[in-house]
Amino acid sequence: MTTQPETMRNHWWWRPGWSVGRRFYTWHLTFEGQDDVHRLAAEYRAALAPLGDILTPIPDRWLHLTMQGIGFVGEAKEQDIHAIVDVARARLAAVPAFSLQIGPEILDPEAVLLHVHPDGPVRDVRNAIRDAIGDVLGDVPEKAEGFTPHVSVAYSAGDGPAEPIAQALAGLSLMRPTQARISGAELIVLHRDNQMYEWKSFATVPLG
């Protein structure tokens, strides 16, 4: 790891606008059928399991790379969401599919994160999505800057020292580098009612 916080904080505090029952339109890269990514996540889950409930491990189904939000259901107009998908479909057709290497980990105050590289193609996908949102809405929510592509494998479930987590990660010996193939971006309807990011798919848009 290149950084290590001294303390962890609970990731599951309710951020502004969020509450039980709220749903949010957002774009992710997801990893359905990506066995190598699932194998890596399982290695991390096994290494962190002795720590008990201080972390929330992420099941394979909910592994994701956060890209770009749009807005809450009931506030964003569904006709605009459909229009964004249509424009994104045209824009993402010009972005080639690509491969990613996932890892190594970074211990963040709220999560165990895995960096992805190269990150340029991920940023290209996000920029195309932001352009599509801008074409439809005019304004694009969330800042363009400050985006660091990553895949989380566990979230902090409480406040406490980081050292036990750092020690568990230091003892992890990964089998081999992990590769993912990115061939599309997914617009999802997300919630966090159960202290997990869970979603239903709204649209999957292929890359060129």
Domain at 38, CATH number: 3.90.1140.10
Instruction: Please report whether residue 11 resides in a domain.
Output: no
Residue 190 tokens read as: 């997300």
Domain assignment present for residue 17? The answer is no
Does 7 reside within a domain?
no
The residues, ordered by sequence, that sit 6+ positions from 103 with a Cβ below 8 Å of its Cβ are 40, 114, 115, 174, 177, 178
- Quick: pLDDT tens for 18-73: 999 999 999 999 999 999 999 999 999 999 999 999 999 999 999 999 999 999 99
Taking the CA atoms of the chain, what radius of gyration do you get in angstroms?
A: 17
Mean pLDDT, residues 183-207 taken together = 98
Q: Which residue has the higher pLDDT, 181 or 177?
A: 181
**Percent of the chain having pLDDT more than 70?**
99
Q: Is residue 48 part of a domain?
A: yes
Domain assignment present for 3? no
- Identify the pLDDT of residue 206: 98
Domain enclosing residue 146, as ranges: 22-206
Q: How far apart are CA 137 and CA 82, in angstroms?
A: 12
Q: How high is the pLDDT of residue 3?
A: 62
Q: How many domains, in total, are found in the chain? A: 1
Mean of the pLDDT values across residues 135-164? Answer: 96
Q: Is residue 143 part of a domain?
A: yes
Q: Give Cβ neighbours of residue 42 (< 8 Å, ≥ 6 apart).
A: 60
pLDDT tens digit sequence for 64-118: 999 999 999 999 999 999 999 999 999 999 999 999 999 989 999 999 999 999 9
| Whole-number Å distance between alpha carbons of 12 and 23 | 16
What is the pLDDT at residue 4?
A: 81
Residue 89, in any domain of the structure: yes
pLDDT of 176 strictly over 80: no
Is 187 within the bounds of a domain?
A: yes
- Measured CA to CA, the distance from residue 184 to residue 204 in angstroms comes to 7
> What is the Cα–Cα distance from 184 to 128, expressed in whole angstroms?
12
Torsional sign, CA 50, 54, 60, 61: positive
